[in-house]
């Protein structure tokens, strides 16, 4: 969900970031060190990031908007309880029928996400007979192959791991907010506790130990399919899902090449 940083905060952070960089001529070397350290520090010593490539698929038609995934993520990753902080959330899309006598094939599009969908959704205020289509869309970090957030980070605290995860090292993050502004999917927020950027990490502490992300684990409709495309298993769910469905990414025109793929998604989703 999108968080806005004011112009004053942005300018102040810019000054702080520049001061940080100028005071550390080895910033580039530090960035490389961070990438090596974090990729291994949250994983078993035997885990080799270069031997994996994680991918998430989401079937919109299977999502029932129950919010269990959001609640599990909050608990598993100690996400602040306030309603504006989420690593994953659910949006409800309601597409109304077009006005009679017009040329449009669809009407107004309404989107809501009360408390990130954590406690489910109340009944729609739109009469059923006026609805053309209604569906739920789980959102999370899009695992961009060309991540704007990592490019925007001035100190290398955000980086692309070889296994496809986009990670944040809070010990290096200076809280400038550049990554939050750079993310076109609204997937980042500034933690009110640590004053550093946070986002979905795919439950890195779980997947590097052979477990599924918490959101995938609890989904009753199996709307989220997660796997390692470098190490497919027998009857691999990721390969089967891609084979059986037309898959899409969000905002493909941006060229970020997300590794979160959606099926049965409407063009109105943004």
pLDDT in tens, 20-29: 444 444 444 4
The rounded percent of the chain whose pLDDT value lies above 70 is 84
* 40 pLDDT above the threshold of 90: no
Whether this model's pTM surpasses 0.75: yes
Judge residue 264's burial from the number of C-beta atoms within 10 Å of its C-beta, 0-12 exposed, 13-18 middle, 19 or more buried. middle
Q: Which residues pair with 160 in a beta bridge?
A: 166
> What was the pLDDT predicted at 1?
62
Per-domain residue ranges of the chain: 1-83+139-264
CATH code given to domain 1-83+139-264:
3.30.70.20
pLDDT in tens, 204-216: 999 999 999 999 9
* 226 pLDDT above the threshold of 60: yes
- Which phi and psi angles does 122 have, rounded to 5°? -75, 165
Query: What's the first-to-final CA gap in the chain, in angstroms?
Result: 12
Report yes or no: 187 and 3 within 8 Å, Cβ to Cβ.
Answer: no
Rounded to an integer, what distance in angstroms lies between the CA atom of residue 142 and that of residue 46? 26
> What was the pLDDT predicted at 268?
85
Rounded to an integer, what distance in angstroms lies between the CA atom of residue 228 and that of residue 181? 30
Question: How far, in whole angstroms, is CA 133 from its chain's centroid?
Answer: 25
Rounded to an integer, what distance in angstroms lies between the CA atom of residue 24 and that of residue 228? 37
The rounded percent of the chain whose pLDDT value lies above 90 is 74
> What was the pLDDT predicted at 164?
95
Q: Which two tokens stand for residue 35?
A: 């990438």
């Amino acid at each position: 969900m999108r968080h806005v940083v004011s112009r004053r905060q942005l300018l102040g952070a810019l000054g702080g970031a520049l001061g940080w960089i100028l005071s550390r001529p080895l910033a580039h070397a530090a960035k490389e060190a961070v990438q090596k350290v974090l990729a291994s520090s949250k994983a078993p010593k035997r885990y080799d990031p270069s031997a994996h490539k994680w991918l998430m698929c989401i079937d919109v038609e299977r999502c029932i908007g129950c919010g269990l995934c959001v609640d599990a993520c909050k608990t598993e990753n100690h996400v602040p309880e306030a309603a504006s902080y989420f690593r994953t959330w659910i949006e409800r899309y309601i597409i109304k029928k077009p006005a009679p006598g017009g040329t449009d094939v669809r009407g107004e599009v309404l989107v809501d996400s009360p408390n990130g969908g954590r406690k489910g959704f109340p009944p729609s205020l739109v009469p059923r007979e006026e609805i053309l289509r209604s569906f739920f869309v789980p959102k999370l970090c899009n695992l961009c192959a060309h991540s704007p957030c990592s490019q925007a980070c001035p100190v290398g605290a955000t980086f692309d791991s070889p296994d496809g995860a986009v990670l944040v090292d809070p010990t290096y993050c200076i809280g400038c907010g550049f990554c939050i502004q750079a993310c076109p999917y609204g997937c980042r927020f500034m933690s009110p506790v640590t004053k550093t950027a946070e986002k979905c990490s795919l439950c890195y502490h779980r997947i590097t130990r052979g477990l599924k992300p918490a959101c995938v684990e609890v989904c009753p409709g199996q709307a989220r399919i997660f796997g390692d495309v470098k190490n497919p298993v027998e009857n691999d769910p990721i390969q089967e899902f891609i084979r059986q469905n037309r898959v899409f990414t969000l905002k493909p025109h941006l060229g970020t090449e997300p590794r979160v793929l959606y099926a049965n998604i409407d063009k109105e989703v943004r």
